[in-house]
Amino acid sequence: MSSAMRYLSKSMNTNILVSLKNGIFIRGILRSYDNHLNLILDNAEEIFTTPEGENVQNRIGKRVLIRGDNVIAISTPKIGEIE
Amino acid sequence: MSSAMRYLSKSMNTNILVSLKNGIFIRGILRSYDNHLNLILDNAEEIFTTPEGENVQNRIGKRVLIRGDNVIAISTPKIGEIE
Amino acid sequence: MSSAMRYLSKSMNTNILVSLKNGIFIRGILRSYDNHLNLILDNAEEIFTTPEGENVQNRIGKRVLIRGDNVIAISTPKIGEIE
Amino acid sequence: MSSAMRYLSKSMNTNILVSLKNGIFIRGILRSYDNHLNLILDNAEEIFTTPEGENVQNRIGKRVLIRGDNVIAISTPKIGEIE
Amino acid sequence: MSSAMRYLSKSMNTNILVSLKNGIFIRGILRSYDNHLNLILDNAEEIFTTPEGENVQNRIGKRVLIRGDNVIAISTPKIGEIE
Amino acid sequence: MSSAMRYLSKSMNTNILVSLKNGIFIRGILRSYDNHLNLILDNAEEIFTTPEGENVQNRIGKRVLIRGDNVIAISTPKIGEIE
Amino acid sequence: MSSAMRYLSKSMNTNILVSLKNGIFIRGILRSYDNHLNLILDNAEEIFTTPEGENVQNRIGKRVLIRGDNVIAISTPKIGEIE
C-alpha cells in the first residue's frame, strides 16, 4: 500500500482539511477514498478568503465527492504514527 | 467499484451540484455517468457570479454532457450512507 | 458504450452547443465524433462575449474539427431519453 | 480511422485555419499530420489581435510543425462530406 | 532505484522544504513518500509571501499529505552524497 | 516514421525557430531530437518582447536542451519537400 | 539512449542552468537525473527577477531535487559535441 493510501486509511472517519488547486479549502469527515485520491467527505464546508480579505465558510451539502486531481494537500489535526 | 463510482451510482436520478474548474457550477438531475466522471444531467442550469457580484442562473438545454476532467467536486443535498 | 458515446450517438446530425476551456462556445450540426470526444461540426459558428460585454457570433467555416481535450460541456436543445 | 484522422485526410493539400490554445491562429496548406494531431503546414502565417485591437498577419517560414496538444480546433473553408 | 527515489530515501526523517506549483512552500519532517512523489510530512508549516510582501509561516496540522504532481522542487539543508 | 519525426529529420543541422508555451521563442541549430520532441540546439538564443514592447535576443549557452512538452510550433526558413 | 538522456549524461558534474515553468531559473552542479528529467543539483541557487526588475539570486540548500515535469529547458556553458 502506497504512502498516500496508508495515510488516507488512517484518516477514515476523522475530520480532514483538503487544499485544492483553485485556492479553496474543503473540510469534512473522510468517508471513502480510492487510489486516484478521489475523496468523499461528510458535513463538508468550503473555506476561502474573499478578494476583500474576508474569511468565508460555506456548508456544501451533506456529502461531497472531490475529484483527486484537484488536490494539493490533505492535513489532519491528529493521527497516529505511520507503521 | 471505486468510491467515486459508488457515490454516483447512489446519486442517479437525483439533483446534484457540480463545481467545474472554470469557476462555474452546474446543477441538474444525474441521468448517466462513466468511469472518466463524464456526467449527463437533465434540466441543467449553470450558476455563476458576475464580476459585479451578481448571481446568475441560466438554463443550458434539456440535457448536458460534462467532460469529467473539468470536474472539481460534486455535492448532493441528501443521500444515504455509503455501504 | 460509455455515457458520453451514447449521448453523442443520439445527437448525430442535430444542432449542439459546445463549451470550450478557452471561454468560447461553438454551435453547429454534429457530423462525427470519436472516443477522445473529438467532434466534427458543420455550419459552425463561435459565440463569445467581448471585454466590452458585446455578444459576438462568427461563422467559422463549413466544417470544423474540435480537439476533444478542449471540451467542457455539450448541450443539446432536445434529444430523447437515454436508454 | 477516427473522425479526426478522416477529417485531416480529406483536408490534405488544402488551406486550413488552426486555432491554438495560446490564442493565436495559424493558416496554411496542410502537408502532413499524424495521430497526435501534429500538423505540418506550408506557407503558414500566424493571425492574432494585439492588445490595441489591431489584427496582425505574420509569415512564419516556409514550413511549420505544430505540436498537436496545442490545437483547439481546425476549420476548412470547403471540403466534401464525410463518408 | 531512480534519482528521485534515492534522494527521498536519504532524506527520510529529516527536515525538507517543498516548493509547490501554487507558489507556496511547505517545510516539515519527511516521514513517507512513494514513486508519484506523494510526500507525508510531520510538523509541517506553509511559508508564503502576502501581496503586501509580508512573509507568513502557518502550522498546517500534525501530519500533511502532499500530492506529488504539485511539487516543483525539494531541498534539504544537509544530506550525504548520493552513491 | 511520423510527420513530426520526418520534419525534424529533414531539419537536422539547420537553423530552426521554436515557439514555446511560455511565450518565448528559441532559435538555434538543431543537433538532436527524440520522439517526445525533446530538442537539442546549438548556438541558441531566446527571443522575446518585454512588457515595454522592446524585442530582446539573449544568447543562452553553447548548447540547450528543450523539453518537448513546452513546444507549440517549430518553423524552418527553408527545407525541401516532404516525401 | 534518447537525445535528452545523452545530453544529461554529458553534463554530469558540470554547472547547468535550468529554466522552470514558474518563471524561475535554478543553477547548480548536476549530480543525478532519470528518464522523467528529474534532476538533482548541488550548490543550487535560484535566479529570478522581482516585479520591480531587480535580479535576485538565492542559495536553496546544499542539494535540490527538481521534478522533471517543471523543466522548460536546460543549458550548459560548454560541453563537447554529441556523438
CB D17, CB D74: distance < 8 Å: yes
Q: What is residue B1's predicted lDDT score, i.e. its pLDDT?
A: 66
F60 — pLDDT class (breaks 50, 70, 90): confident
Tell me the three state secondary structure of residue A49.
Answer: strand
| CA angle, F38 then E18 then G46, to 5° | 60
Amino acid at F62: K
- Chain C's closest residue to B31, CA to CA, is C82
Q: What is residue F83's predicted lDDT score, i.e. its pLDDT?
A: 34
CB A12, CB A28: distance < 8 Å: no
Q: What is residue F59's predicted lDDT score, i.e. its pLDDT?
A: 87
Using a CB–CB cutoff of 8 Å, tell me whether A13 touches chain B. no
Establish whether this prediction's ipTM goes over 0.85: yes
Pick from A17, A20, A37, A39: nearest CA to A28: A17
Tally of CB atoms within 10 A around A44: 23
Q: What is residue F50's predicted lDDT score, i.e. its pLDDT?
A: 81
Judged by CB atoms closer than 8 Å, whether chains meet at B4 and A60 is answered as: no
Pick from B21, B16, B4: nearest CA to B45: B16
CB A70, CB A20: distance < 8 Å: yes
Q: What is residue D1's predicted lDDT score, i.e. its pLDDT?
A: 66
- Is B20's pLDDT higher than 60? yes
- Chain E's closest residue to A8, CA to CA, is E65
Question: What's the mean per-residue pLDDT of chain D?
Answer: 88
Q: What is residue E1's predicted lDDT score, i.e. its pLDDT?
A: 66
Using a CB–CB cutoff of 8 Å, tell me whether A40 touches chain E. no
pLDDT 10s digits, G7-50: 999 999 999 999 999 999 999 999 999 989 999 999 999 998 88
Any idea which residue has 511559508 for its cell?
A: E47
Q: What is residue F81's predicted lDDT score, i.e. its pLDDT?
A: 37
Residues 6+ apart with CB under 8 A from B68: A67, B34, B36, B37, B38, B39
pLDDT 10s digits, E29-50: 999 999 899 999 999 999 988 8
CB A41, CB A28: distance < 8 Å: yes
- Is B79's pLDDT higher than 50? no
Residues 6+ apart with CB under 8 A from A51: none
Tell me the three state secondary structure of residue B79.
Answer: coil
Residues G51 and G42: their CA atoms lie apart, in Å, by: 28
- Chain E's closest residue to G69, CA to CA, is E72
- Is B32's pLDDT higher than 60? yes
Q: What is residue G51's predicted lDDT score, i.e. its pLDDT?
A: 77
- Is C72's pLDDT higher than 90? yes
Which class would CATH give A3-75? mainly beta
- Is B77's pLDDT higher than 90? no
Residue ranges in chain D modelled with pLDDT below 70: 1, 77-83
> How many CA atoms does the CB half-sphere of F35 hold within 13 Å?
6
Using a CB–CB cutoff of 8 Å, tell me whether G41 touches chain E. no
Tally of CB atoms within 10 A around E1: 10
Q: Per the structure block, which three cell numbers stand in for A29?
A: 469527515
E52 — pLDDT class (breaks 50, 70, 90): confident
Please tell me which residue, E53 or A70, carries the higher pLDDT value.
Answer: A70
C15 — pLDDT class (breaks 50, 70, 90): very high
- Is F38's pLDDT higher than 70? yes
Residues 6+ apart with CB under 8 A from E81: none
Using a CB–CB cutoff of 8 Å, tell me whether E83 touches chain A. no
Any idea which residue has 512523489 for its cell?
A: E37
Average pLDDT over residues B19-38: 95
Judged by CB atoms closer than 8 Å, whether chains meet at B33 and C3 is answered as: yes
- Please report, rounded to a whole number, the percentage of residues in chain C having pLDDT higher than 70: 90
CB E82, CB E60: distance < 8 Å: no
Calculate how close chain F gets to G34, using CA atoms only, in Å. 14
Pick from E67, E17, B3: nearest CA to A19: E67
Amino acid at F26: I
G1 — pLDDT class (breaks 50, 70, 90): low
Q: What is residue A1's predicted lDDT score, i.e. its pLDDT?
A: 66
Q: What is residue A45's predicted lDDT score, i.e. its pLDDT?
A: 93
- Is F79's pLDDT higher than 70? no
Calculate how close chain C gets to B76, using CA atoms only, in Å. 20
Judged by CB atoms closer than 8 Å, whether chains meet at E62 and A82 is answered as: no
Give the C-alpha distances (Å, rounded to integers) separating A47 from A24, B18, C63, E8.
Answer: 6, 17, 45, 32
Domain borders along chain F are 3-75
- Please report, rounded to a whole number, the percentage of residues in chain D having pLDDT higher than 90: 66
Residues A50 and A40: their CA atoms lie apart, in Å, by: 26
pLDDT 10s digits, G48-69: 888 788 888 988 878 999 999 9
Pick from G24, G19, G13, G12: nearest CA to G50: G24
Average pLDDT over residues C44-58: 86
pLDDT 10s digits, A22-62: 999 999 999 999 989 999 999 999 998 887 888 889 888 78
- Chain G's closest residue to E51, CA to CA, is G51
Average pLDDT over residues C1-6: 85
Average pLDDT over residues F35-62: 89
Phi and psi torsions of B75, nearest 5°? -130, 155
Using a CB–CB cutoff of 8 Å, tell me whether F22 touches chain G. yes
